[in-house]
Amino acid sequence: MSAEKFDMGNIDIAWCPGCGNFSILDVLKDALSELEIAPKDLVLVSGIGQAAKIPHYLKTNFFNGLHGRALSPATAIKASNPSLTVIAESGDGDMYGEGGNHFIHTIRRNPNITNIVHDNMVYGLTKGQASPTSRRGFKTGVQINGVVLEPFNPLAVAIGLDAGFVARTSITDKELTKDIIKQAVEHNGYALVDLLQPCPSFNKVNNYKWFKENTYRLEDSHDPSDRDKAFSLACKKDKLPMGVLYKSQEKPSFEENISAGPEPLYENRLDTDKLDSLIQSFA
Amino acid sequence: MNALRDKNAGVSIVLCGQAGQGIQTVEKLLTSILKASGWNVFATKEYMSRIRGGTNSTLIRAGAGPVRSFINRIDVLAALDKSAGGHLAKRISPHTLIMGEKEVLEGFGDKGSFFEAGFSQAAKDLGGKVYANTVAVGALLRLLGIPAEKGKEPLEKFFAGKSDEIIEKNQQALKKGFEMAEKPAEDFGAGLKLSGEPDVQGKMLVNGAQAVGLGALAGGCNFISSYPMSPSTAVLAFLAQQGGQFGLLAEQAEDEIAAVNMAIGAWYAGARAMITTSGGGFALMGEGVSLAGMMESPLVMHAAQRPGPATGLPTRTEQGDLELALYSGHGEFPRIILAPGTLSEAFSLAKKAFNLADKYQVPVIILTDQYFMDSYYNTETFSLDGLDNSPHITETDKDYLRYRLTENGISPRGVPGFGDGLVCQDSDEHDEQGRITEDLELRVKMNDKRLKKLEAAKADYVQPSLEGAEDYENLIICWGSNYNIVKEAIELSERGDTAMLHFSQVYPTPEDALAAIKKAKKTAVLENNATGQFAKLLKLQLDFEPDEKILKYDGLPFAADTLSEKINEMF
């Protein structure tokens, strides 16, 4: 299947020149077409922010909802129609800040969705404030003396909660990113892809050069089923490992745990005989 | 004092004690026996926000004719705890027969008539104090003049699943209580006489929460996501318990924000979804109401009101969230607010809510309250005749436009995966396809399109109901759970010049109602809040102002008997 299937043609894109989102969009289209997913069977769910605009630049079904809330409708969409491929994709502010509570509980719930987080360590849409993943000392118009908070560690949190698929990649490594997205979509259950990305307009510290110098690919010998090892890798602060840190297929997905069955709920018709006998039971 | 003589018209029994003392056991057992004996029954409770202890009371009414509302009068008080005397002081009259253990009765002074009953000792003789409540039920049956045998079957049903020994001991406990009340029953002239053998056995006995839950099922609800909050949780629990056999998915969300966003996501994928909450949870859902408005997503929201602001009185009742429902969510978009007055209406309106939401692609809010949730009475069995849940979704083609501009503002709604089209829903202002736009002319068109749907929805207005005198001079206007209370109050007042106009659709307010209102010489709006929220809405919608407002906001419902006195003073 050709990636052109997802092309919107000649449209006005609201991202800044040089934004990492352009490459992410290309890689996503490639990954989805290589997985042979048809646009009509895919739903992209996003919140608010620059990354959250991604569904608008891709030809598919989408639900571009509220700030921080992508994971809640994504969970419900998948549960209501398990035959759809559901990807919740937004930025670090959306997923880890505004949506932090949903991030935690979605991992616990384990819906069969892919969660791609564009992590540029800064708020782009509101023009340059600290995000939950901004490094300490990062100076902004609000954090004038530099960020004093410890950065949020999505990978350690996800592994701590025993998410079944936890990966980090950087758009500076497109090949790895595409491979990881494909693996994440194919994973049965919740899959987190923390996707590092430069923001040339508002993050002058964590730029292309910084990501290249401060990340490394996990070696092929890494065993992703080793949770303790994955956790210690997730906690590394000096150089950031990239790849599938942790993978486990032991837990059933949310849809497998609930009773609604594989049929989409729009085909669910009320059994009036059953309801009638339920009503009669109150007599 | 003959507390129960000549009470053929109906009797009011109040059980009062601490949470955890088994009031609910007595309530359930007694109402089922009363109903099985051919009596119309009603029960409601008021309780403190605590799991054990405190002082709570349950009112049980039995009557030959329909009994469906709260009254202040107490004919028989089963006091299970010393605090009952203080708790119910204002409701005890010289005609109240108070039954209880010796030390409990000491707390009452010399008000009322007393029946000293050794429930605990009788239970101990049978082998354990767990039987005390059944002993009390037996005594109440004797006081009401209902044969002990009538309790046999309901008792077996109630304790179904327990051992034969436990069932047998409870049968003995019931008999023991019955015998214990033999003398007081003679002394107090107790006993009801059925006038006209009402046919109530076959009718349903449900509470407000069950009626809303059954209505939701009838409306095709197959998804509920909510965060537990009194007094709305019973609807979530009911649907979770019945969900399996109807293919309904019930999820307890991590918070109300997740709950409402899940419900909107579920509708997007083709489910019929609802949330249930109370004011505090609804406040958190405001962003979701607004999202549904912009996305033109159907959404069914049930809010069981309780007094606020903030955590307020968590287990009490109020109609204080009408304005919250009306104005929740930012921006301008249509919504529909329903407020059932009776249990059968709760069933029919909950059912209708799903079809309205689906048809007009707007949030539909059902407003009930704690009093409504926790009250139950026997009513006509809910009927599924004429049920039409035809889904308002369309199979899409490749040129499908989710927000196509149409004459009446309603765009055909597709769901992803059904047809060849793409379904794009956005919280930003969008074009017909659903994609972000800053075309400001299109913004105006889209806003007009959304607002237009409210005009179309007039076709489905739920008209208010008029009860009482046909040639009325005085009119009491009310909404929601006050239906039966006001109806009975007018009956008790025996005024041939007074009627009630009850609104079950509060917003948009049916304009035809104005004719009925203008017919009256004097009008009063009655509601369970301090500022007359519905009266304000009537001014806004119909440019009408009542002569009087009857407002109550102490956390308790109106009482039909005290309200009837008020009617006689007022008109």
At B194, the pLDDT band (50, 70, 90 cuts) reads low
The whole-number average pLDDT for the span A227-245 is: 97
Residue B198 above 80 pLDDT? no
Residues of A in contact with B255 (CB under 8 A): 101
Among B222, B254, B423, the residue with its CB nearest the CB of A102 is B254
As a whole number of angstroms, the distance between CA A248 and CA A263 comes to 26
Residue burial B211-231, b: 16+ Cβ < 10 Å; e: rest? bbbbbbbbbbbbbbbbbebbb
As a whole number of angstroms, the distance between CA A32 and CA A3 comes to 8
Residues of A in contact with B264 (CB under 8 A): 65, 73, 76
Residue B18 within any structural domain of the chain: yes
Q: What angle do CA A35, A36, A39 make, to 5 degrees?
A: 115
Residues of B in contact with A102 (CB under 8 A): 254, 257-258
Among B265, B415, B417, the residue with its CB nearest the CB of A73 is B265
Residue A170's nearest CA partner among A159, A160, A184, A181 is A181
Mean pLDDT score of chain A: 96
The CA distance from A243 to the nearest CA of chain B, in Å, is 30
Domain ends where: B346, B379, B412? Answer: B379
N residues, chain A: 283
Among A55, A69, A265, the residue with its CB nearest the CB of B271 is A265
Range of the domain at B46: 3-188
Could you give the C-alpha distances from B54 to A44, B21, B50, B92, B349, in angstroms and in order?
A: 51, 10, 7, 19, 36
Residue B286's nearest CA partner among B311, B261, B269 is B261
- Nearest residue in chain A measured CA to CA from B380: A283
Residue B245 within any structural domain of the chain: yes
As a whole number of angstroms, the distance between CA A45 and CA A116 comes to 10
Cβ of A278 and B242 within 8 Å?
yes
Residue B68's nearest CA partner among B191, B190, B207, B192 is B207
Cβ of A74 and B210 within 8 Å?
no
pLDDT of residue B3: 44
Among A61, A260, A261, the residue with its CB nearest the CB of B416 is A61
The CA distance from B248 to the nearest CA of chain A, in Å, is 6
Distance of CA B424 to the CA centre of its chain: 38
pLDDT of residue A262: 72
Among A56, A75, A260, the residue with its CB nearest the CB of B262 is A75
Q: Is the ipTM of this complex over 0.90?
A: yes
* Other CB atoms within 10 Å distance of the CB of residue B514: 15
Q: In what order do the strands lie in the sheet with B336-338?
A: B249-252, B223-226, B273-277, B299-305, B363-369, B336-338, B505-507
Residue A254 above 80 pLDDT? yes
Residue B197 within any structural domain of the chain: no
Let me know: does A61 contact B423? Beta carbons within 8 Å. Answer: yes
The CA distance from B272 to the nearest CA of chain A, in Å, is 8
Percentage above 90 pLDDT, chain A: 92
Q: Which residues contact A235 (CB under 8 A, 6 or more apart)?
A: A153, A156
The whole-number average pLDDT for the span A12-33 is: 96
Residues of B in contact with A263 (CB under 8 A): 247
Let me know: does B434 contact B481? Beta carbons within 8 Å. Answer: no
As a whole number of angstroms, the distance between CA B519 and CA A152 comes to 66
Residue with tokens 């519905």: B534
The whole-number average pLDDT for the span B207-225 is: 98
As a whole number of angstroms, the distance between CA B480 and CA B485 comes to 11
Q: Are B374 and B398 in the same domain?
A: no
The CA distance from B264 to the nearest CA of chain A, in Å, is 7
Residue B194 within any structural domain of the chain: no
Residue with tokens 């809303």: B212
pLDDT in tens, B493-537: 999 999 999 999 999 999 999 999 999 999 999 999 999 999 999
Q: What angle do CA B87, B92, B98 make, to 5 degrees?
A: 90
Q: Are B418 and B475 in the same domain?
A: no
At A3, the pLDDT band (50, 70, 90 cuts) reads confident
Phi–psi pair at B219, nearest 5 degrees:
-80, 5
Residue B382's nearest CA partner among B359, B408, B352, B405 is B352
3-state secondary structure of A243: strand
The CA distance from A256 to the nearest CA of chain B, in Å, is 12
The whole-number average pLDDT for the span B19-25 is: 87
Residue B347 above 50 pLDDT? yes
Cβ of A48 and B291 within 8 Å?
no
The whole-number average pLDDT for the span B168-180 is: 96
Q: Which residues contact A4 (CB under 8 A, 6 or more apart)?
A: none
The CA distance from A105 to the nearest CA of chain B, in Å, is 7
As a whole number of angstroms, the distance between CA B429 and CA B427 comes to 7
At B310, the pLDDT band (50, 70, 90 cuts) reads very high
Phi/psi zone of residue B251: left (φ > 0), alpha (ψ -120 to 50 degrees), beta? beta
pLDDT of residue B195: 53
Q: Are B71 and B160 in the same domain?
A: yes
Residues of B in contact with A14 (CB under 8 A): 436
Residue B1 above 50 pLDDT? no
Cβ of A260 and B248 within 8 Å?
yes
pLDDT in tens, B56-92: 999 999 988 889 999 999 999 999 999 999 999 999 9
As given in the structure block, the two tokens for residue B399 are: 């040129």
Residue B529 within any structural domain of the chain: yes
Residue A186 above 60 pLDDT? yes
Could you give the C-alpha distances from A130 to A123, A149, A191, in angstroms and in order?
A: 6, 10, 26
Residue B387 within any structural domain of the chain: no
As a whole number of angstroms, the distance between CA A156 and CA A161 comes to 8
Cβ of B258 and A101 within 8 Å?
yes
Residue B305's nearest CA partner among B315, B318, B323, B286 is B318
Q: Are B398 and B346 in the same domain?
A: no
Q: Are B233 and B335 in the same domain?
A: yes
The whole-number average pLDDT for the span B275-280 is: 98
As given in the structure block, the two tokens for residue A187 are: 């994973």
As a whole number of angstroms, the distance between CA B336 and CA A139 comes to 48
Q: Are B99 and B216 in the same domain?
A: no
As a whole number of angstroms, the distance between CA B434 and CA B421 comes to 12
Residue B544 above 90 pLDDT? yes
Cβ of B269 and A77 within 8 Å?
yes
How many domains does one find in chain B? 4
The CA distance from A182 to the nearest CA of chain B, in Å, is 21
Residue B384 within any structural domain of the chain: no
As a whole number of angstroms, the distance between CA A109 and CA B423 comes to 26
The CA distance from B420 to the nearest CA of chain A, in Å, is 6
Residue B196 above 70 pLDDT? no
pLDDT of residue B193: 66
As given in the structure block, the two tokens for residue B76 are: 């028989």
Mean pLDDT score of chain B: 94
Cβ of B382 and A279 within 8 Å?
yes
As a whole number of angstroms, the distance between CA A123 and CA A100 comes to 15
Distance of CA B9 to the CA centre of its chain: 25
As a whole number of angstroms, the distance between CA B79 and CA B274 comes to 40
Q: Are B13 and B139 in the same domain?
A: yes
Residue A98 above 80 pLDDT? yes
Q: Which domains does chain A have, with CATH numbers?
A: 3-281 (3.40.50.970)
Residue with tokens 């399996």: B244
At B5, the pLDDT band (50, 70, 90 cuts) reads very low
Let me know: does B158 contact B32? Beta carbons within 8 Å. Answer: yes
As a whole number of angstroms, the distance between CA B317 and CA B338 comes to 18
Query: In a mutagenesis test of the A interface, which of B261, B272, B397 is the best target, namely the one with the most A β-carbons within 10 Å?
Result: B261
Among A62, A65, A275, the residue with its CB nearest the CB of B261 is A65
Residue A208 above 80 pLDDT? yes
As given in the structure block, the two tokens for residue B389 are: 């849940």
Q: Are B424 and B555 in the same domain?
A: no
Cβ of A283 and B244 within 8 Å?
no
Residue B431 within any structural domain of the chain: yes
Lowest pLDDT segment from A34-38, B47-51, B451-455, B565-569 = B47-51
Q: Are B446 and B471 in the same domain?
A: no
Q: Are B269 and B360 in the same domain?
A: yes
CATH number for the domain spanning B316: value is 3.40.50.970
CATH number for the domain spanning B40: value is 3.40.920.10
Let me know: does A185 contact A35? Beta carbons within 8 Å. Answer: yes
Cβ of A75 and B247 within 8 Å?
no
* Other CB atoms within 10 Å distance of the CB of residue B4: 21
Residues of A in contact with B434 (CB under 8 A): 62
As a whole number of angstroms, the distance between CA A29 and CA A62 comes to 15
Q: Are B455 and B551 in the same domain?
A: no
Task: Give the β-pairing of B11-19 and B53-63.
Answer: antiparallel
Cβ of B223 and A76 within 8 Å?
yes
As given in the structure block, the two tokens for residue B216 are: 């939701």
DSSP state for residue A151 in the 8-state scheme: P
Let me know: does B331 contact B293? Beta carbons within 8 Å. Answer: yes
As a whole number of angstroms, the distance between CA A246 and CA B61 comes to 63
Domain ends where: B188, B218, B248? Answer: B188
Q: Are B37 and B177 in the same domain?
A: yes
Domain ends where: B156, B188, B220? Answer: B188
